[in-house]
Amino acid sequence: MTPAKILIIRLRRIGDVVMTTPALTLLKQHFPKARLTYLVEEPYRRLVEGHPSLDRVIAIPPKQRFKDFVRLIREVRKEGYDILLDLHGGPRASWITFWSGAKLKAGYAIEGKGFLYDIRASRRGGNGPIHSVRNHANLVRALGAEFDDAEIPALSLPAAKPDEVERVRAVLGEGGAGEGTKLVVLHIGAGNRFRDWGAKNIAALLELLSRLPNVKIALIGAAADQKVQAEILEAESGSAIPLAGRLNLIEIRELIGRAALFIGPDSGPMHIAASTAAPIVAYFGPTLPAHFAPWRPQGNRTVVLEKDLPCRPCKQRECLTNDFRCLLTITPDEVFAACRPFLL
């Protein structure tokens, strides 16, 4: 089968969308004449809009009214896709797959949903955990594409537009990050409380980093992180550049691409950082690096900090020890020790 149109579905979130990009590159390499369309939720549109492997992006709201969902299904069916690749597997993605009218549907062998797909790939490895990027690549392989694991490419995001580049330059200038500065980008947000290292730990790390010569720290996060950002700045004397809620996702990538180091938890920005050349120091709590470590097949300037505990990994619904020890026993001194070699 030589497909003319392929629809890829990954609705959310930041890291999950970013980790689909090697699969996009593989699809374009092995089906070069196919028109690739990506279906994503609106907050994450900028992560794929303008990607060199894509011809079109369809962005939908995180929550849809029934009539809007019906309109979407009509649009999808009208396109007459030859292949639908469901890289998500969630409830709404499953309904879109079911009603899509695509000639060939491919997705993961998820309990209770396998009947949706003509082609299924397992997300479990016989020899241990499989990285999310490799899972997506395996689904492309299931379509008939032939490649070795060593050929799975790096993460790739669209280039920043001129106005986005200028905005990053402006905020760095305002923050005093001039020539000769070693920029450190520190992600202060957390997707949930299981990944929240805490304002106290972050402020202590900032204090240690600020003692190094020519180092300037930029704090990034969502608008919802501005309150904790204020707490951190107050505890640390306010010398960092506060950027929580001020940059879009590609501007964050542009910022990290200029940095001497990225620091943060297992998070969306960590995966954005993995698409750049910046070194990464990441601290993992309930999740395993075997599944979600920064994907860097062409050289790895990454340090992952984690604690070997019997309760890891967990489903992040209830902490069995009630103290989030998997993350909170990682100390600011340990993180600083991992950061220091990149900044000397």
pLDDT tens-digit profile of 247-275? 999 999 999 999 999 999 999 999 999 99
Domain 162-343 in CATH 3.40.1440.10? The answer is no
Q: Say if residues 272 and 252 touch (Cβ distance below 8 Å).
A: yes
Between CA 274 and CA 251 the distance in angstroms is 15
Q: Which fold has domain 5-151?
A: Rossmann fold (3.40.50)
User: pLDDT tens, 95-149?
Assistant: 999 999 999 999 998 877 778 899 998 887 767 789 999 999 999 999 999 999 9
Q: What is the C-alpha separation between 107 and 95, in angstroms, rounded?
A: 13
Q: How far apart are CA 230 and CA 237, in angstroms?
A: 10
How far is 116 from 97, CA to CA, in rounded Å?
7
Q: What is the mean pLDDT of the chain?
A: 94
* Confidence label for 75 from pLDDT (cuts 50, 70 and 90): very high
Does pLDDT of 191 surpass 90?
no
Instruction: Please give the model's pTM, rounded to 2 decimal places.
Output: 0.95
CB 305 within 8 A of CB 283: yes
User: What pLDDT, in 10s, does the model give residues 304-321?
Assistant: 999 999 999 998 889 989
Is the pLDDT higher at 2 or at 272?
272
> 264: which strand partners?
282
State in Å, rounded, how far the first CA of the chain is from the last one.
55
The domain ranges of the chain are 5-151, 162-343
d(CA 51, CA 34): 15
Would the CATH topology of 5-151 be identical to that of 162-343?
yes
Q: How far apart are CA 313 and CA 290, in angstroms?
A: 11
The mean pLDDT value for 47-55 works out to 97
pLDDT on residue 269: 97
